[in-house]
């Protein structure tokens, strides 16, 4: 498992590369200072001393992968759509918004982190605090649009497993249902200010059609079994999704977040 936030390359990144004497590189790659590399320690014929360069060796790499996918990638999915619907361009700007930050904190604390298996030597709350710092770094200049990309592929990996685990444990899925409702609302193709959203998913045309249908029949969204499997038919989740989607259309993203965070 590897983890390092790498924003999309644009004019800003090319300018940064030029300032470091790399003006001839048309596609420079920039990244945050943080890095994590976890390897499963099952080398049959020995291995280099990877620990010397900061690699974590473990017999349980899948535990680290689950932690990263659900807390970090799930966190990205949580802040992506409300930020975009509120016309926020950058991730660090979304993190500076108290409603989005409060929403992220509540979803992570109540509906994601409780269902992550413990990892020896890792405090999940400390791990989340580090993620907050990483998301808040203005120098990375990661974009909300990048986080929103390919939701039809990312939601089943980053959000739906947490919904499933919470439902199985009898826990709340109110926040995760709101994450799904925000994605649905985003796929309608306009922000709250009616700014057009450029296609941002390989299945964009189909998603827009479903989002428009879901405005009047929310089940149309949850019937995407490729995303939700059978949990779209779960009464607890479907009821929460329906309620949140209705609030997003009635009052907008900001008001919906205010109501949720205040609960």
- HSE-up of residue 11 (Cα within 13 Å, Cβ side): 0
Identify the band that residue 17 occupies on the pLDDT scale cut at 50, 70 and 90: confident
Closest CA to 151 of 225, 207, 220: 207
Closest CA to 1 of 48, 52, 41: 41
Structurally, at CATH architecture level, domain 61-262 sits in Orthogonal Bundle (1.10)
Distances (CA, A) of 151 to 11, 18, 32, 199, 206: 25, 33, 23, 11, 12
Average pLDDT, the chain: 96
Q: Which of 42-46, 187-191, 243-247 has the lowest mean pLDDT?
A: 42-46
Cα–Cα distance measured from residue 83 to residue 178, given in angstroms and rounded to the nearest whole number? 13
Q: Domain extents for the chain?
A: 1-58, 61-262
Distance from the first to the final alpha carbon of the chain: 36
The proportion of the chain whose per-residue pLDDT surpasses 90, expressed as a percent, equals 89
- What is the reported pLDDT for 12? 87
pTM greater than 0.75 = yes
- HSE-up of residue 250 (Cα within 13 Å, Cβ side): 10
- What is the reported pLDDT for 93? 98
Cα–Cα distance measured from residue 260 to residue 254, given in angstroms and rounded to the nearest whole number? 10
- What is the reported pLDDT for 180? 99
Is residue 16 pLDDT above 90, yes or no?
no
Q: Please provide the size of the chain in residues.
A: 263
Is residue 115 pLDDT above 90, yes or no?
yes
Cα–Cα distance measured from residue 75 to residue 242, given in angstroms and rounded to the nearest whole number? 22
Cα–Cα distance measured from residue 150 to residue 223, given in angstroms and rounded to the nearest whole number? 18
Is residue 145 pLDDT above 90, yes or no?
yes
Q: pLDDT by residue (tens digit) across 56-76?
A: 999 989 999 999 999 999 999
The proportion of the chain whose per-residue pLDDT surpasses 70, expressed as a percent, equals 100
């Amino acid at each position: 498992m590897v983890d390092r936030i790498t924003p999309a390359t644009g004019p800003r990144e090319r300018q940064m590369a030029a300032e470091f004497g790399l003006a001839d590189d048309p596609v420079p790659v920039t990244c945050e200072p943080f890095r994590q590399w976890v390897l499963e320690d099952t080398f049959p014929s020995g291995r280099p001393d990877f620990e010397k360069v900061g690699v974590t060796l473990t017999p349980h790499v899948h535990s680290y992968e689950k932690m990263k996918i659900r807390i970090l990638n799930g966190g990205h999915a949580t802040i992506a759509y409300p930020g975009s619907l509120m016309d926020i361009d950058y991730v660090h700007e979304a993190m500076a918004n108290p409603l989005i930050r409060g929403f992220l904190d509540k979803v992570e604390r109540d509906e994601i982190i409780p269902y992550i298996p413990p990892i020896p030597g890792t405090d999940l709350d400390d791990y989340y605090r580090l993620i907050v710092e990483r998301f808040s770094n203005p120098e990375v200049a990661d974009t909300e649009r990048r986080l929103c990309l390919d939701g039809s592929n990312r939601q089943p990996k980053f959000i739906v497993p947490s919904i499933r685990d919470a439902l199985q444990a009898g826990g709340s899925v109110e926040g995760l249902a709101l994450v799904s409702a925000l994605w649905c609302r985003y796929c309608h193709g306009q922000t709250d200010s009616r700014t057009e959203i450029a296609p941002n998913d390989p299945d964009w045309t189909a998603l827009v059609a479903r989002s428009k249908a879901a405005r009047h029949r929310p089940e149309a969204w949850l019937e995407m079994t490729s995303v939700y499997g059978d949990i779209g038919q779960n009464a607890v989740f479907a009821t929460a999704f329906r309620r949140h989607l209705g609030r997003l259309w009635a009052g907008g993203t900001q008001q919906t977040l205010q109501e949720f965070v205040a609960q």
